[in-house]
Amino acid sequence: MTRKDGNGIRRLYVDENTAPIVKEIFESYLKGLSTLEISKLLHERKFYVATDYRKYGKVIADSDEPVRIWNPTTVLQVLKNRVYTGTLIQGRNQKHLYEVRKRERLSEEHWTVTENAHEAIISIDTFEKVQMMISSKSSPIKNSRQKMLSLKRIRYFEEKFIVVFAREECAYTGNKVVKNLYFILAVIYLKNLQQKNADYLLQKLLLGKLLRELLM
């Protein structure tokens, strides 16, 4: 949270009410809980989400009060936020007053990073361990998603199109070297076209502009 100091300068201070929640999120993740499991845990303990905390002025809801479920993305944002280590990061965005794009996200090298700018809730060691765990978990998930998307595209392609593999020999006049060129003529014709039309289109592609471009 932010408030003005004795000189009227706005500074970050630890919110003693919500600091235990931040610590519990980090500790739970280090124990092996996923962001989804942590969000369920916070909901079971009836911790308010940030907006409701500011609205009602309390961290924990009464037994008869409904509580909104924590979003796992919010939990992940907490885990990635360096501010809890006492580090202040400024200058992440740049404003453009006279352009259509008024705000631009800057690369990390342009940020202003001040360590020990305020009291820390999480140690640097704990934060770095969590970041390593996040990286090790996110990479396989990202790769598996990419593989799934690739498989879906391949299946769609196989269902809709016929792929023709063509082999041509190209003679280079300069050194008279004959080189075998392997290439794919994709999207040659749809499977649902009549064979007559398909054969005609195939000939046009093999003998026409596309073939010449591929051999260049």
What is the domain-level CATH number for residue 44?
3.90.1750.20
Whether 119 is covered by a domain: the verdict is yes
Taking each helix axis from N to C end, the angle separating 72-80 and 124-160, rounded to the nearest 10 degrees, works out to 130
- Are the beta carbons of 95 and 103 closer than 8 angstroms? yes
Q: How confident is the model at residue 46 (pLDDT cuts 50, 70, 90)?
A: very high
Q: How deeply is 2 buried, as exposed, middle or buried, from its count of CB atoms within 10 A (0-12, 13-18, 19+)?
A: exposed
Q: What are phi and psi of 69, to 5 degrees?
A: -75, 140
Residue 121 has pLDDT above 70, yes or no: yes
Same domain membership, residue 161 and residue 138: no
Same domain membership, residue 130 and residue 178: no
Residue 171 has pLDDT above 90, yes or no: no
Rounded distance between C-alpha atoms, residue 46 and residue 73, angstroms: 18
Whether 201 is covered by a domain: the verdict is yes
Whether 151 is covered by a domain: the verdict is no
Q: Report how many domains make up the chain.
A: 2
Whether 148 is covered by a domain: the verdict is no
In 31-177, beta strands by DSSP E: 88-90, 93-95, 103-105, 112-114, 161-171
- % of the chain at pLDDT higher than 70: 44
Q: What is the mean pLDDT of the chain?
A: 68
Structure confidence at residue 22 (pLDDT): 92
Structure confidence at residue 86 (pLDDT): 83
Q: How confident is the model at residue 182 (pLDDT cuts 50, 70, 90)?
A: very low
Last residue in a domain, options 81, 114, 142:
142
Q: For 95-120, what is the mean pLDDT?
A: 63
Element containing residue 148 per DSSP (H, E): helix 124-160
Q: How confident is the model at residue 25 (pLDDT cuts 50, 70, 90)?
A: very high
Q: Which of 1-10, 37-46, 109-118, 127-136 has the lowest mean pLDDT?
A: 1-10
Same domain membership, residue 114 and residue 185: no
Last residue in a domain, options 92, 117, 142:
142
- % of the chain at pLDDT higher than 90: 22
Structure confidence at residue 66 (pLDDT): 86
Whether 195 is covered by a domain: the verdict is yes
Same domain membership, residue 106 and residue 174: no
Structural domain containing residue 206: 156-215
pTM over 0.85: no
